[in-house]
Structures are given as C-alpha cells and as structure tokens.
Chain A
C-alpha cells in the first residue's frame, strides 16, 4: 500500500445520501479476480446518464469525491474501494461512512475523511460554482481545505488514530500482525479443545 500524507486534486460533488456499494459498483462488475480494472464499473448505472456529475467535463480528472451521509453502506465488497481508486480517486469526504467501506478504504489506501455535514455542503457549493476547483485533504493535519476568500473552506476531519498512522506509513497490515505471531501461537494453545474445526470433514448421518 502506498503511503498517504496529503493530496490536492479536483473534487466532484456527489449530492446523494445513502450511496450504497451496489451503486458504487454493481455486482455484475465483481467477477474479476484482480485488484485492477474496476474503473468501468464505478457508478456504472448512474454514469449512463450524460448529466451525471462524473460525466461533466468540468470534473474530468477528479481525485476527491465529496458525498452525502452514509456513503458506502451495504455490501462488504472491497471492489467499491478499488473501483474508486482505479478511476483515480484518492479520497472520499462525507459526513458518515458505512463501517465496512471505511475499514476497506483504510486497508487499501483510500482516505475516508469524515466531516460535518455543513463542510460537505460548503464544499458542494464551492466546487459547483467553480468546477475544477482543487480540494486539499491533509492527513498529517487532519484538515480539508479549498477555495480562497469568503467562500474558502477549511475544517478538520475525523479518522481514527490507528488508520491514520497506517496510512501515513503505508504499512502492510499482515506483516504487522505476523510480528505478533508469538501472541497468536500462545492464544491458540489455550483455546478449548471442543471448539469446532472444519477439518477433518464430518458429514451428516
């Protein structure tokens, strides 16, 4: 995973709440066995509409998505995160995230920045009146900022300390945990013997 410190890029206003992962990437696009190539599936149903915000030329090359509350609810498909990344997004800014989507983002290096609803509203207004405007998400400072003068937005975002640390370091989670292998082995040795195992296979009578 690449480390994330700060990112500045064009922001897209997605004025929708409850954007579930079936909207981010419909199930028909989940059949690939790689982590790449999912950009075609991103918002596939909505992108068929030429007026959908991602299709507007002013937001071409966008890398920050600004969405309404409860972004990424529903299915656990990490393909939703990969689709956003494959398309070019580095960060999603929203007032609330689905738990599994947020966890998946942290594991894959997509920044899920949780902000107050009024910040999203201000960002929407700003990038709608000035399509192509840059937004900066700074993970070191935990801030999101955009614009200048009276319309400028500068506020903090929430992210848990551990995910922030991992993103800043770009750490391989599995390697970190395998560093605690002795703890795992010790736990395994004290598990009750009656706990079930899948092997050897037992069959119904």
Chain B
C-alpha cells in the first residue's frame, strides 16, 4: 500500500524502532528562542553534556524583545535576564544566534524559511507550538516543551509515537478578498479546537495548490489551534521557486539532487488517511472570532451566536463564559463590534505578503480616530523589505505605528500589551483570555479584515470601505 507524505517523511527519519516503543526520530533542524530554552541548557550543563549538533541548531530572540528603541538595553530586567541568558548559552554551547539588532533576527518561524533552512522532507522542531508553520514546505514540523528541547540539544533526536494521519482537502478556489486565514479559521470553527488531536494533517486540493508559500505558512501555522500535532503541504514548483537562491538552499548539483528527492514527497494515490475532511473554498467568506478560543468564530457577515444554540453542554458553558469575558451580547452583528486596537503581525500573518495586503488597503486612507494600529513585521528582513517598497510610509501616513520585528502583541510578553477591557482585531493566532494582555479582548482576523477594521473602527472587510479620496 502507498504511503502518505507524512509517513514518507517520518520513515526517512527513523533512527531506531523497537516493538512497543516509540520511534527514535532524527531532527534535521532545531530552532531555539529565549523563553523555552534556558532550563534546557541548564540541564545540559548539570549533566556535562554538549549540544550534539550545533550545526543543525539556530537561535533568535523574538518573544520577549521590545519593538521600539531596539538599540537600547531591554527595560524589563526579567526579560533582559532571559535574553542575556540565551546569549550566554549560545556562546557557551556554540549555537548560532541572531540577536536583537541583527539583520536576520525575527520570529523564529519567519527566519527559518527566510534563510532557506526550512526545506521539504525535513523534521523541524522548536520549543514553540507554532512550529507547524514550517509544514508549508512539506516538512514534518512540530512544537515541543523544554524537556524535549534539552533532549534534542543533547541527542539531535526525539522519541515519538507514530501519529495518525488526516487529509484536509480544500476543493475549488477561494473567492476574491478571502484569504488563507479566513479558510483556516473556518476550518477550526467546523472541527473544533480538539478536532486534530493526535493527527498529522496534510492540507491538499486546488485551493492549497494555488496558494503562495506565505499563505500556506498561515494555514500550517494554525494547525495547533485545532489540536493537530503538525500540518503539512506537499512541496511543488511554488515551494522550489520560493527556496531557490536563499542563503541555505542547496546549490548547483546539490539543488538538482534535492529537487529530485523533493518531487517524491507526495502522498501516493493508493495511500490511506486515517481521517478525511473536505472543504469547499468557494463557500469561505471573511471570518472572525467572537470568543476565547480559535474555534469560536463566525463569518463577518454573521452575528454573535446564542450560547443556547450549541448542542454540546461544554460548548454552551464555554460560550457563555466567553461572551461574558468578551463583553458581547448574543445576536450583535459582528460588524457592529467597535475595536480599540488593530494588531498586524505574528508568525501567522507577519510576512511581507501580509504587509503588502494591509498596505494596499490602508493606502490613501486613515486609521479611525478611535483606533490605534500596530504593524509589526515578522523579521528584521521583512521590515527592511517593506521599507524598500515604501510600505512603512503608507502605514505611517495612515496613522499606524511601524515597529521593529518580534512576537510583540501576539502574546504580550514584551511591553506591547492590551489594557484591561481593550478590544483588539488581531492577525495573530490565539484569542485566549488575557493572551494579548491581562483583561484584553481579542478577535482573530485576516490581514484584509485587520486593515479594513483599522480604517472603519469596527470589524469590517475591504468591501465595506468607501473609495479613498486619493490613491
């Protein structure tokens, strides 16, 4: 019987397998950041163990760092200690680090692909749940905790039980103005936040094939938000074109050998998935969340749901709590929800294509007086690229704040946080209670909806905007 893409990648990385034991898998790339690594390096030190493969390890600073005054020492002493600890650990163990101020610094899941280090058929791990982003290249990529970070540092392997496989097939094409983010939020609302638990998911079908790498990364990034172990997409010409010429992409004969191998990384026609989900792209519309988990979402054209309409008792309780936390009334049209802050950025939607999309919408328009807008590029290079294209001027002319690169308000570990009761339309990935700041309220949206919302001051799509006075 044929094998799925995920099974092929898995099989290629088995170092050791034994009956009644999980497989020992080799890890091709280990991404490290300041928050989930200090205790892992400590563990190595205590046991006098080296990093086995510093040449397959790379670190950056992203979660804790400020996005303004980045040339100044970090003001928060606890954040500063954590960042300085990473710098000392990388120095001591010989790990490549892109610190704040470096041209290749950025969100860990943005810099891997950007450097060409993320390639098809690899195993990629990081102490961060959004590692699934790298699956867009046909890599098996998943988040791990600090104990496993230590395990990978020490052994370049992980013990892993073979997961089940699922196909999510998206037939047809997305309507104009509807993005990968709308698609994945629609999917999560349909299958629930636990729908993918225990599965590695392959996204396939016409709509996926016609997506850019950036859009594919948005889809795979959100895999964890419905519980999947990983999400991946078979590599194709779009993947190869994105990779070719990047600093760490294979060169010359190596490129040819790599592409030959990458072309074999597709699910065989006779392979069986353990579960299949089918979506019709033409039915997808701009989609926003109303609640406090990523599955609590509806089309923008719809209204805040009534908790009593949910069949499941847990969902009813959860919806009631969510409406209370979000300070929303059931039945309110989503478009009537006013927004204090718009956040554009994160490993979900902080890439150059996202910034171009947002710039195209706010160009010649103004951010509403009642609203503040933060645009945070995902990496220092995305920032430079945007500035070379003049996007920073578009954002600033519209009244938005143009920041340095990092995770920023996606999780509010740095000073970019919401105040108690502040409502935010965010291109990030989680609307959990307090995620963007204690008492803050988050609506997950696409870059298109974020930009339109910033202009109108309430949740909106580009179609709601009047024509700008001058473009």
Q: A183 in the interface, Cβ–Cβ < 8 Å?
A: yes
Interface contact A96-B430, CB-CB below 8 Å: no
Contacts of B28 in A (CB 8 A): 195-196
Known contacts A31-B78, A198-B56; A70/B129 CB under 8 A: no
CA distance A188 to B56 in the complex (A): 12
Question: Which residues of A1-58 have CB atoms within 8 Å of chain B's CB atoms?
Answer: 15-18, 20, 22-23, 26-28, 30-35, 45
Q: Interface residues of B toward A: which range?
A: 35 or more
Residues of chain B having any CB pair with chain A under 8 Å? 15-16, 20-22, 24, 26, 28-29, 35-36, 38-39, 42-43, 47, 49, 52, 54-58, 63-64, 76, 78-79, 81-82, 85, 96, 104, 115-117, 119, 122, 127-129, 131, 143-148, 150-151, 154-157, 159, 161, 193-194, 197-198, 224-225, 227, 229, 246-250, 254-255, 257-258, 261, 293, 314-315, 317-318, 321, 381, 411-413, 430, 432-435, 438-439
Quick check: A35 and B150 within 8 Å, CB to CB? no
* Complex CA–CA separation, A177 to B49 (angstroms): 13
Q: Is the CB of B150 within 8 A of A184?
A: no
Cα–Cα distance between A31 and B78 once the two chains are bound (Å): 6
With contact pairs A33-B82, A178-B154 given, residues A202 and B248 touching in the complex (Cβ less than 8 Å): yes
Contacts of B57 in A (CB 8 A): 198
Q: How many residues of A are counted as interface, with CB atoms below 8 angstroms from the partner's CB atoms?
A: 62
Neighbouring B residues of A68 by C-beta, 8 Å: 314
Looking across the interface, which residue of chain B has its beta carbon closest to that of A46? Answer: B433
Contact, CB under 8 Å: A76 / B430: no
Out of B26, B119, B143, B197, name the residue touching A76 (CB < 8 Å): B143
| Inter-chain contacts of B318 with A (CB < 8 A) | 16-18
Indicate if the CB atoms of A23 and B433 lie closer than 8 Å: yes
- Which A residues are closer than 8 A to B by beta carbons? 15-18, 20, 22-23, 26-28, 30-35, 45, 68-70, 73-79, 81, 96, 98-100, 103-104, 107-108, 160-162, 173-174, 177-178, 180-181, 183-184, 187-188, 191-199, 201-204
Given known pairs A76-B129, A184-B26, the reply for A70 and B193 (CB within 8 Å) is yes
B225, closest chain A residue (CB):
A74
- Whether the pair A104, B58 counts as a contact (CB closer than 8 A) is no
Taking the nearest CB of chain A, how far is it from the CB of B349, in angstroms? Answer: 18
A73 to chain B, nearest CB (A): 6
Tell me if A198 and B194 are in contact (CB < 8 A).
no
**Nearest CB on B from A202, distance (A):** 4
Contact B155 A196 (CB under 8 A): no
The docked-state distance in angstroms from the alpha carbon of A184 to that of B27 is 11
**A31 contact set on B, CB distance < 8 A:** 35, 64, 76, 78-79, 81-82, 413
Provide the bound-state CA to CA distance between A81 and B471, in Å: 52
- A73/B159 in contact, CB under 8 A: no
The count of A-to-B residue pairs whose CB atoms sit within 8 angstroms is 214
CB contacts (< 8 Å) of B227 on chain A: these are 70, 73, 98-99
Give the chain B neighbours of A16 by CB distance below 8 A.
317-318, 321
Residues of B within 8 A of A30 (CB): 35, 63, 413
Q: Which of B42, B248, B261 has the most chain A CB within a 10 Å cutoff? A: B248
Residues of B within 8 A of A195 (CB): 28, 119, 122
- Supposing A27-B412, A31-B413 touch, asked if A104 and B197 sit within 8 A by C-beta, the answer is no
Q: Do A73 and B39 touch (CB < 8 A)?
A: no
Given the complex of chains A and B, what is the CA–CA distance between A100 and B127 in angstroms? 10
Query: Residue on B with the closest CB to A178?
Result: B155
User: Given A74-B432, A177-B159: A99 and B197 within 8 A (CB)?
Assistant: yes
With contacts A20-B293, A70-B194, A183-B24 taken as known, whether A203 is within 8 angstroms of B247 at the C-beta atoms is: yes
Of the A-B pairs whose beta carbons lie under 8 Å apart in the complex, a sample of 16, sorted by A's number, is A17-B314, A31-B35, A32-B78, A33-B39, A33-B82, A69-B314, A100-B145, A103-B144, A104-B147, A107-B145, A174-B47, A178-B155, A192-B257, A196-B28, A203-B104, A204-B381
Question: Are A107 and B15 neighbours in the complex by a CB distance under 8 Å?
Answer: no
Complex CA gap A191/B25 in Å reads: 13
- Beta-carbon contact of A107 and B314 below 8 Å: no
A160 and B257 contacting across the interface, CB-CB below 8 Å:
no
Chain A neighbourhood of B248, CB < 8 A: 196-198, 202
B129 and A74: CB pair below 8 A? Answer: yes
If A73-B193, A196-B248 touch, whether A99 touches B229 (CB-CB below 8 Å) is: yes
Residues on the B chain within 8 Å of A178, using CB: 49, 154-155
